[in-house]
Structure 1
Amino acid sequence: MATPGKLTVAPDEAPSGDDALLSDAGSPRVDDSTAEPDGSHPAPGPAAARSEAAAPPAEPDPSPPAAVPSPAAKSPRTWSWAAGIALTAAAAFAAWSAWSWHAAATAPTSTAGAARDEAVTAGRTLIATVTTFDPQHRDQALAHWQSATTGALQTTFPSNVPPDGSATAGHVLDAGLSDLDAEAGTAKLLASVEITVTKDGTAQPIRRTRVAAAMTRTASGWKLSSLEQLGVAGS
């Protein structure tokens, strides 16, 4: 007779080994024998680790990461200091540029330009002087020739007095330096000259000529040291 409350299984109905394993595997029974005395459970075994590894990865957090202050970030005081340095540098550069421009304007290049202008002006005056002669004031005209020349030209130029008593008046139309050595005090000048000739009170056809002059700077200024006529044309 069966005992009330206890299930009796006949020997031929007992589950086989495989069925017993399946039954045990499918049962949600928890083996409390593995629990620690204080009621906690030990770390999961290899099977549990594999189960956790097989779990899908967590979705990334779509929210942007919090901004982290850059160590190179400048404080307002630092930027203000840097701006002051930049303004000071700009002012210094502007001052240097102005000084450089002034220095360039007063440099030897400008001095050479002034020397050229002086030589050209002197040459125009000298050539006009030696191409002008008034027979009625012969001595005065010769004195002007002497003061306008130097060296061998000063000695030979009086021989250029017009033999027929004609008066001449020279006017330089254009002139320019072909060479200048300011340190040595020498220059070469080309000029176009218009000469008005008057004979016996009658004006003769105007002559235009080109001359090449060499000049030397003396203690009293530029002087003609040579004069060569390059061509004469009447009009």
Structure 2
Amino acid sequence: MARTARNPLLAAALALTVVAAACAAWAGWSWYAAAHDDAADFAKTRDRVLAAGTQAVQNMNTLDHRDLRRGLDTWEDSATGDLRTQLVDGRAAFEKQIQEAKTVTTAKVLSGAVTELDDRAGRASVLVAVRITVTAPKGEPARKESRMLGQLTRTDDGWKLSALGQAPVGDTADR
């Protein structure tokens, strides 16, 4: 032991080994804690909700009279609950209205955010800014930017819209 204490190279090597072991232990513990943190799972769920919500809002604001069946099928596939029931029940009347108008409506999502997420209950809310372009048979395309609020419900097929409406604009407080 006396020889180890007097050899500075051996002492430095021992000290570096202890520091390296401590760093490895800390890194391992940090990795384990991060891998088992509920926040990471919640963030993944939030990302899935945002992707599903923005896609569904885009789907619900896109429709081409030349391929009406596929467009309305996409609407129904994007929805669940009462919203889906309303779409199915009103489909025939809506088909007739769109065929007579001969319009093409496209939507582009500008931004979106999850405003509420209850993973345990399987409910979420999104706010989506969207640019909607309506092209009639004659005339220039009309563009409108809109903010929409969507309610999503988790289904066996993933997150789907259960309600959709315009977001209030301006001061909505009661006076």
The normalised TM-score by structure 2 is 0.77
Deviations 1:107-136 (A, max 9, x none): 322222222111111111111101111122
Displacement after TM superposition at 1:85 (Å)? 6.5
Question: Aligned partners of 1:86, 1:229: CA distance in 2, in Å?
Answer: 65
Equivalent residues in 2 for 1:9-88, closer than 5 Å: 75-77=2-4, 86-88=15-17
Identify which of 97, 113, 137 aligns with 2:26.
97
Question: Aligned partners of 2:24, 2:118: CA distance in 1, in Å?
Answer: 35
Deviations 1:125-170 (A, max 9, x none): 1111011111222222111111000000001135484833422111
Moved more, 77-86 or 125-134: 77-86
Identify which of 158, 163, 170 aligns with 1:226.
163
Which amino acid is 2:32 matched to? A
Partner SS state of residue 176, structure 1: strand
Deviations 1:19-52 (A, max 9, x none): xxxxxxxxxxxxxxxxxxxxxxxxxxxxxxxxxx
Instruction: Report the equivalent of 1:138.
Output: 68
Question: Aligned partners of 2:168, 2:131: CA distance in 1, in Å?
Answer: 12
Displacement after TM superposition at 1:183 (Å)? 3.0
Contact 1:209 1:231 in 2 (8 A): no
Identify which of 125, 131, 137 aligns with 1:200.
137
Moved more, 108-117 or 121-130: 108-117
Structure of higher RCO (CA pairs closer than 8 Å, 6+ residues apart): 2
Question: Aligned partners of 1:197, 1:153: CA distance in 2, in Å?
Answer: 23
Displacement after TM superposition at 1:200 (Å)? 1.7
Partner SS state of residue 63, structure 2: coil
Question: Aligned partners of 1:105, 1:202: CA distance in 2, in Å?
Answer: 56
Q: Which has the larger radius of gyration?
A: 1
Deviations 1:73-93 (A, max 9, x none): x94546779877754542332
Moved more, 181-190 or 101-110: 101-110
Instruction: Report the equivalent of 1:154.
Output: 84
Question: Aligned partners of 1:122, 1:103: CA distance in 2, in Å?
Answer: 30
Displacement after TM superposition at 1:185 (Å)? 2.2
Q: Is 1:168 aligned to 2:116, yes or no?
A: no
Percent identical residues:
31
Contact 1:120 1:175 in 2 (8 A): yes
Contact 1:192 1:211 in 2 (8 A): yes
Unaligned segments of structure 1, at least 5 residues: 1-73
Which amino acid is 1:208 matched to? E
Identify which of 110, 115, 125 aligns with 1:178.
115
How big is the alpha-carbon RMSD for the aligned residues of Structure 1 and Structure 2?
Answer: 2.7
Q: Is 1:120 aligned to 2:120, yes or no?
A: no
* Larger helix share, 1 or 2: 2
Unaligned segments of structure 2, at least 5 residues: 170-175
Contact 1:192 1:208 in 2 (8 A): yes
Which amino acid is 1:100 matched to? W
Count of equivalent residues: 159
The normalised TM-score by structure 1 is 0.59
* Larger strand share, 1 or 2: 2
